[in-house]
Amino acid sequence: MPLNTTKKQELINSHQTHGTDTGSAEVQVAMLSERISQLSSHLQQNKHDFSSRQGLLKMIGRRKRLLSYLKGISPERYSQLIAKLGIRG
């Protein structure tokens, strides 16, 4: 269930730090968050899809590691990203 090209480009444009940024922590977290929300809705309908559940848990762990890295590097960027994405309570 990958992201389509237009959605991916929208996420990159809204979270990039400079003009050619496609791989910063903010962009990666935004893409992971979108895929996590898509996969969560898929798993609500398909409760016995255990391989997708495992992939979801791996994505959540990767997002958590990226967020902790970002928090250590720049707490301001971390708090802005959390507010922009609406995650972490």
State the CATH number of the domain containing residue 47.
1.10.287.10
Residue 18 lies in a domain: no
- The predicted pLDDT at position 39 comes to 96
Burial 55-74 (b: 16+ CB within 10 A, else e): bbeebeeebeebbeebeeee
How buried is residue 44: exposed, middle or buried, by Cβ count under 10 Å (0-12/13-18/19+)?
Answer: exposed
How many domains, the chain?
A: 1
Residue range 41-85, pLDDT digits in tens: 999 999 999 999 999 999 999 999 999 999 999 999 999 999 999
Give residue 48's domain range. Answer: 25-85
- The predicted pLDDT at position 14 comes to 94
Residue 4 lies in a domain: no
